[in-house]
Amino acid sequence: MNDKVVYEYIIIESMKHIWLPPPLNIGSPPSLSAYARSIMFKNYFKGYTNSILNAQSWEEMKENHTVLKIWYKDMK
């Protein structure tokens, strides 16, 4: 099932930083799902840091940056 999951992110190459939207899966504790996603991105994008934005900040970032998508299966 996770193979069908697509993650959105915004990458700022000059900062070597990735911005992530707030977790969508409210069924699990948001802090656990957010932590797992952050670790997964750090392992895949070596040398990059990341931050998880709240809903309002994510919408504001999307106005000025390109939102990229990556399949979960591609990060395994």
* pLDDT tens digit sequence for 4-53: 889 999 999 999 999 999 887 555 566 787 888 899 999 999 999 999 99
SS3 (DSSP) at 24: coil
Phi, psi for residue 11 in degrees, rounded to 5? -115, 135
- Distance, in Å, from the CA atom of 28 to the CA atom of 24, rounded to the nearest integer, reads 10
Phi, psi for residue 29 in degrees, rounded to 5? -55, 125
Beta partners for 70?
7
Check if the beta carbon of residue 38 is closer than 8 Å to that of residue 20. Answer: yes
49-68 confidence digits (pLDDT tens): 999 998 899 999 999 999 99
Instruction: Give the predicted TM-score (pTM) of the model.
Output: 0.85
Per domain, the residue ranges of the chain are 1-12+39-76
